Amino acid sequence: MSGVAMPRPSEETLERRAAIVAALRAIVPNEGVIADDLEMRAYESDGLTAYRQLPLVVVLPETVDQVSRILAYCHANDVKVVPRGAGTSLSGGALPLADGVLLSMMKFNRVLDIDYDNRTATVQPGVTNLAVTQAVQHRGFYYAPDPSSQIACSIGGNVAENSGGVHCLKYGLTTNNVLGIEMVLMTGEVVRFGGQHLDSGGYDMLALAVGSEGLLGVVTEVTVRILKAPETARALLIGFHSSEEAGACVAEVIGAGIIPAGMEMMDRPAILAAEDFVQAGYPRDAEALLIVELDGPAIEVDHLISDIEGRARNNGAFHIRISTSEEERAKFWAGRKAAFPAVGRISPDYYCMDGTIPRKSLPLVLRRMRELSEHYGLRVANVFHAGDGNLHPLILYDANKDGELQRAEDFGSDILRLCVEVGGCLTGEHGVGVEKRDLMPSMFDEDDLKQQQRVKCAFDDKHLLNPGKVFPVLHRCAELGRMHVHAGALPFPDIPRF
């Protein structure tokens, strides 16, 4: 942790570090290798700032060949590697290791190809999420997954975390929008999964790689789907006296077969923080606010808006506004998109959680969260991707007060256990990283975790790529043995010929 006097590294460590730095400089010349402690400070943490660690060295390659040679060297010399994009991860996925190389991919920042006929864009992994849309919007296209961090986060990071955003309810997560990747394995071997088409033969290795949190390989190229921008998009702001009413409205809309482009919910503390920050026009007296966006042909959007308006009133909505211009629609979203920094203004620190629950459990989970908030003596503001049940409770605390960080972490762990208890899961889009690593056994038993590690071993036989993330216990690959899917030999199926 920063601010704590670190013991002086041993002579042996210093010699090993010097050898690694020299080897990396032979691969990536000049300012592409950073070994100065002061200069490495910028890399000591990611979006999960409660955790900090200086890496052994930072390397910023510019070509696939350099990435391949770096990984091959590290593999041959048993050096750990942590891949990094823009460093906005909220689960500590890009947290450096004291004895590991931090491999920054931010020099891979070029859009390589745009194929409007195929509706694809091929980009390097350091390109920001928003830059993909910016590269194609003059032709009326866009890239659908839109994390709130889209101005900064990289496509490589999005692939590693399988990131989502407000429009993922209708258009899917990163995994539904990536068609192909190039990835360098720990041995230095360059592989390609998927391509420019919707399906490839063989096992779906692309699906395995998306969401693998930098544990299977380093992504060096990504081909994504681009979509034609909808003819119209309009949003509704809907205020309720209780989150139960808002939850019931969400369930009714989805149950009726309507899939809005986005369906977000905020509770009162989040509404007030956002309204004070950006004056989006949110009803300050609402206990729960829904922001619902519909897109498509104007006639369809108009019809769905009046349908949802009716359903909202039936469920007790007391405040409904419908955007009448693009500016107003953007304003409705501005509060939600700025919810995290808005909460940062009302508390010295906040801890952003990310869990998923079945939509019908929302009222129960909110009630239990209020009880936990009282138990821990910490406030919580809630923003949700309500349509897909992905919660983002923001726990407010002050790291300068003794024990508050620990209480915030314990509170967060209880929330995530609660998500699993009601049939949900530990993460919706931020990944496991270091943050949720020790909670993995609440969701997976020992056999499941070992099976997952066997997959990891097929890619990284020495556990050198991003170790310490995701798995609470690491087993040597040789001890894990081969994956057993079925105990006995399977009879060869008799395939009839016609």
Ligand X SMILES: Cc1cc2nc3c(=O)[nH]c(=O)nc-3n(C[C@H](O)[C@H](O)[C@H](O)COP(=O)(O)OP(=O)(O)OC[C@H]3O[C@@H](n4cnc5c(N)ncnc54)[C@H](O)[C@@H]3O)c2cc1C
Residues at the contact surface with ligand X, assessed by CB under 6 A? 46-47, 82-90, 93-94, 105, 125, 147-149, 153-154, 156-158, 160-161, 163-165, 213-214, 218-219, 340, 429-430, 466
Instruction: Name residue 282's amino acid.
Output: Y
Query: Of the two residues 87 and 269, which places its CB atom closer to ligand X in the complex?
Result: 87
Query: Of the two residues 20 and 218, which places its CB atom closer to ligand X in the complex?
Result: 218
In whole angstroms, the minimum distance from the beta carbon of 385 to ligand X comes to 8
Contact 354, 429 (CB under 8 A): yes
**Residue whose C-alpha is closest to residue 181's, from 235, 141, 220, 138:** 220
Pairing of strands 218-225, 178-184: antiparallel
In whole angstroms, the minimum distance from the beta carbon of 198 to ligand X comes to 23
In whole angstroms, the minimum distance from the beta carbon of 33 to ligand X comes to 18
Query: Of the two residues 311 and 336, which places its CB atom closer to ligand X in the complex?
Result: 336
Query: Of the two residues 320 and 346, which places its CB atom closer to ligand X in the complex?
Result: 346
Query: Of the two residues 150 and 315, which places its CB atom closer to ligand X in the complex?
Result: 150
Query: Of the two residues 120 and 149, which places its CB atom closer to ligand X in the complex?
Result: 149
Query: Of the two residues 71 and 362, which places its CB atom closer to ligand X in the complex?
Result: 71
In whole angstroms, the minimum distance from the beta carbon of 173 to ligand X comes to 8
Query: Of the two residues 269 and 428, which places its CB atom closer to ligand X in the complex?
Result: 428
Distances (CA, A) of 105 to 22, 60, 459, 465: 20, 6, 20, 15
Which residue is nearest to ligand X, using beta carbons?
A: 157
In whole angstroms, the minimum distance from the beta carbon of 72 to ligand X comes to 16
In whole angstroms, the minimum distance from the beta carbon of 369 to ligand X comes to 20
Query: Of the two residues 192 and 370, which places its CB atom closer to ligand X in the complex?
Result: 192
In whole angstroms, the minimum distance from the beta carbon of 128 to ligand X comes to 8
In whole angstroms, the minimum distance from the beta carbon of 363 to ligand X comes to 24
Residue 341 and residue 201: Cα distance in Å, rounded?
44
In whole angstroms, the minimum distance from the beta carbon of 213 to ligand X comes to 4
